[in-house]
């Protein structure tokens, strides 16, 4: 199973794909989501309130009413802008981003065996790729991994069909974005490596 050292590397690997933004912003989803940190989706105002926001100038811990006001200010804006366009007075420290990143990675790591029963025995390169997919898409029904029927069939077969998994692990990239292309290629390569090791 992936260690804390592996999770630290995973969090660092996510940064080029997800960004690392210390304030709240809106993503470019069809219905924009308030987001922060390394792609931390804030599902609602309570998710924002759970984080230790500080004022960027003074470092003073933000009050709950200030966090609520900032969440709804950002939520009212148009989605898909550059992250800096949403910049407000509240920030997360680097330590807070690291702590939340680890918390979320551990939660996803704990949830992955419910989607892939053999997860604990998968090669580490496969575990890393599935954890990345879980971070990107979630664990539940579509678009979460529970809805990725062909990928689940490939990984859960006996023995696992890593070659098929390499084809089924990619997220859509209609705009041919370089970051998405690189992320898909990295995912596929992990499954191909597992196939080679499988012999």
Split at pLDDT 50, 70, 90, the class of 57 is confident
- In this structure, the answer to whether residues 128 and 194 fall within a common structural domain is yes
In a domain, 125, yes or no: yes
Split at pLDDT 50, 70, 90, the class of 38 is very high
Among 72, 82, 133, smallest CA distance to 108 is for 133
- In this structure, the answer to whether residues 124 and 79 fall within a common structural domain is no
- In this structure, the answer to whether residues 121 and 192 fall within a common structural domain is yes
Between 196 and 80, the more confident residue is 196
Split at pLDDT 50, 70, 90, the class of 151 is very high
Residue that is last in its domain, among 39, 70, 98: 98
pLDDT of amino acid 119:
98
Q: Does pLDDT of 174 surpass 80? A: no
pLDDT of amino acid 199:
73
- In this structure, the answer to whether residues 189 and 130 fall within a common structural domain is yes
In a domain, 156, yes or no: yes
pLDDT tens digits for 59-106? 999 999 999 999 999 999 999 899 999 999 999 999 999 999 999 999
Query: At what angle are helices 94-115 and 124-137 packed, to 10 degrees?
Result: 110
Residue that is last in its domain, among 64, 98, 132: 98
In a domain, 87, yes or no: yes
- How many structural domains are present in the chain? 2
In a domain, 1, yes or no: no
pLDDT more than 70, % of the chain: 99
Distance CA 136, CA 35 (A): 13
- In this structure, the answer to whether residues 129 and 181 fall within a common structural domain is yes
CA torsion, ordered 83, 170, 146, 96, to nearest 10 deg: -30
In a domain, 15, yes or no: no
- In this structure, the answer to whether residues 122 and 50 fall within a common structural domain is no
pLDDT of amino acid 171:
92
Distance CA 191, CA 9 (A): 18
In a domain, 182, yes or no: yes
DSSP conformational letter for 50: T
> What average pLDDT is seen over the chain?
95
CA dihedral for 87, 172, 131, 186, sign (positive or negative): negative
Residue that is last in its domain, among 98, 126, 141: 98
Stated pTM of the model: 0.91
- Give the angle 51-6-16 at the CA atoms, nearest 5°: 65
For residue 25, the cross-strand partners are 35
pLDDT tens digits for 112-136? 999 999 999 999 999 999 999 999 9
- In this structure, the answer to whether residues 48 and 88 fall within a common structural domain is yes
- Give the angle 38-104-122 at the CA atoms, nearest 5°: 105
- Give the angle 5-7-9 at the CA atoms, nearest 5°: 75
pLDDT of amino acid 70:
98
> What is the residue range of 90's domain?
21-98
């Amino acid at each position: 199973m992936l260690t804390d050292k592996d999770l630290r590397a995973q969090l660092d690997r996510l940064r080029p794909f997800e960004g690392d933004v210390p304030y709240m912003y809106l993503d470019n989803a069809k219905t924009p989501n308030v987001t922060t940190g390394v792609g931390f989706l804030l599902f609602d105002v309570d998710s924002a309130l759970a984080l230790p926001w500080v004022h960027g100038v003074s470092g003073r811990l933000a009050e709950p009413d200030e966090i609520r006001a900032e969440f709804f200010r950002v939520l009212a804006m148009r989605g898909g802008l550059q992250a800096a366009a949403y910049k407000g007075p509240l920030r997360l420290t680097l330590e807070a981003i690291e702590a939340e990143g680890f918390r979320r990675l551990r939660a996803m790591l704990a949830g992955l065996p419910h989607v892939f029963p053999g997860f604990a025995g998968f090669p580490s390169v496969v575990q890393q790729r599935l954890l990345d997919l879980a971070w990107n898409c979630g664990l539940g029904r579509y678009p979460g991994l529970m809805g990725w029927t062909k990928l689940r069939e490939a990984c859960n077969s006996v023995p696992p069909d890593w070659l098929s998994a390499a084809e089924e692990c990619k997220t859509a990239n209609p705009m041919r974005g370089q970051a998405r292309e690189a992320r898909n290629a990295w995912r596929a390569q992990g499954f191909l490596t597992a196939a080679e090791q499988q012999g």
